[in-house]
Amino acid sequence: MISANIASIPEREEQLKHTVYSLLKQVNIINVCLNNYNHNPFEKEKKVNVVFSDNSLGDAGKFMFLKGFNGYYFTCDDDLIYDPYYVEDTILRMNRSRHKIVTYHGRSFDSFPIDSYYKSASKKYRCLGDVNSDYTVQFGGTGCMAFHTSNFNIPIDKFERSNMSDIWIGIHAHKTNTPITVLKHEEGYIKYQHVKGTIYDDKCNNDSIETEIVNYNFR
């Protein structure tokens, strides 16, 4: 079984549709956590399962479908469009190299403690840019992440604060000795849809909580 899993907010409904339709033919099911939506944009799509939420989980809503699931679990973002062979390519490369968790976006810090999760110097690998090799990272982008549930799983209660999925996954992977690998790719493999008010925009100048949590868990 292969699933793609997304959390969305109403302001991004049009972008969400583009994201879903870029993945629809590639997976068995798409699960969408509709945060604060009052309607289902995919009523006619049998492969799209939706759950309405009050946004208390934020972006972690894309992990709420893990419980009881067995198979390849892709986590995606509603502002990205994925290559037509994204899922097939990712599974092939994950299995060929025996990677446990793969992503196309991530970062690692040289040492801890850090002064700022978003601004302290780190090795960064962007899903929207060229990455010339596979790299192991401490924190992977959950907007373009995949794993098989036999290799990694995480209870939803591990996401103790909303809109910090990359950090909670990094912490749980660290504690369970599960490597996260950014896969080699070229610019354009994943495409961006412009949206306002991203998590990065909201938190890049106010990340004291994120920084404290990271330092506590990577001390």
Extents of the domains making up the chain: 2-217
How far is it, in rounded angstroms, from Cα 153 to Cα 99?
A: 14
Q: What distance lies between CA 141 and its chain's CA centroid? A: 5
Residue 168: band (very low, low, confident or very high) from pLDDT cuts 50, 70, 90: very high
Would strands 2-8 and 72-77 be described as parallel, antiparallel, or unpaired?
A: parallel
pTM: 0.94
The C-alpha angle 106, 62, 10, rounded to 5 degrees, equals 105
Task: Provide mean pLDDT across the span 18-30.
Answer: 97
Query: For the domain bounded by 2-217, which CATH number is listed?
Result: 3.90.550.10
Residues 138, 168, 172, 1, CA torsion sign: negative
Tokens 């950090």 correspond to what residue?
A: 167
What pLDDT score was predicted for residue 202?
A: 58
How far is it, in rounded angstroms, from Cα 196 to Cα 81?
A: 16
DSSP 185: B
Residue 210 has pLDDT above 70, yes or no: yes
Residue 207: band (very low, low, confident or very high) from pLDDT cuts 50, 70, 90: confident
Give the model confidence (pLDDT) of 124-135 as tens digits: 999 999 999 999
What pLDDT score was predicted for residue 14?
A: 95
Residue 157 has pLDDT above 70, yes or no: yes
